Amino acid sequence: MRYNLLAAVFAVAFLCSCTVNLNNTASKTDSHTTLNSGVEVEPVIKDKNILNLETLSHEKQGYGQGVQMDDNNRPLGALDFNEKYKKYNAKAINNEKGVITLTFDQGYENGYTTKILDTLKQKKVKATFFVVQDYAERNPELVRRMIDEGHTLGNHSVTHRSMPELTEAECKSEINGLHEYIKDNFGYEMTTFRPPMGEYSEFSLAVTKECGYNTELWSFAYADWDTNAQPDKNEALVKLTSSLHDGAIYLLHSVSSTNAEILPDFIDEALNAGYKFK
């Protein structure tokens, strides 16, 4: 009888203690959770806007690598861009010694892409081709060849609009719209975006990251896009080869007859100088 009474007393005390602990825990549920060690931890917040888009600048920036170089012939403009915007997975130059990346912007087809692809295949060099949706719709055989021959397909937006002039929804539509088109029609998922005209804002770079994309600009470009005023082939080749640098990202336009002509020689001279193509 005595033992039963003691057991009952201990049971009541235990239940009271549990009730106090539960009440204390309940009082924390709206702000913090307390671990057994007494350390408070922040609760998990779903759908938290980590990038804080509302606070970011919409000011339009027009990218250019500039003409000032460091001691290794790397454009300071590209290096500055990397440092400033790396938090948005954006870059204009790679940090790889002895490596070059060839990229081509595919705004429209001018009859030279086949020759460019033939050269790349012959030289066993891979490149990135940034396409807009109209190009992919009109030239599915060339897009298929790019993919099948191991090149990277880059996203250049649906309609080539200036990204910093768009709302968040419009930016995402330009990126995701082309992403879905390429995925549905070619079974290929793109991961790299080049903003049309090299125009961007801090806001548009952040939205691009939210879409799951990296932004890739360039560390070399020259006036090759005007089909009625093509640069001299010898002068262009000198310009390309004299600009070689570690981690270079070359932007060339596939509408250029000059680029199609000098590409084999440029690849040979870059390889002879000890560079590799990524």
Question: Cα separation of 257 and 133, whole Å?
Answer: 23
253 included as an active-site residue? yes
Q: Which helix (H) or strand (E) holds 99?
A: strand 99-106
Concatenate the DSSP letters of all residues of 136-177 into one string: HHH-HHHHHHHHHTTPEEEE--SS---GGGS-HHHHHHHHHH
Tokens of 186: 């070619």
- What is the number of residues in the chain? 278
C-alpha dihedral, 216 to 221 to 226 to 228, nearest 10°: -150
Query: Does the annotation count 105 as an active-site position?
Result: yes
Which residue among the candidates 151, 156, 179, 253 is catalytic per the annotation? 253
Instruction: Give the CB-side neighbour count of residue 65, counting CA atoms within 13 A.
Output: 24
From the list 32, 105, 151, 232, the catalytic residue is: 105
- Residues annotated catalytic, as ranges: 105, 253
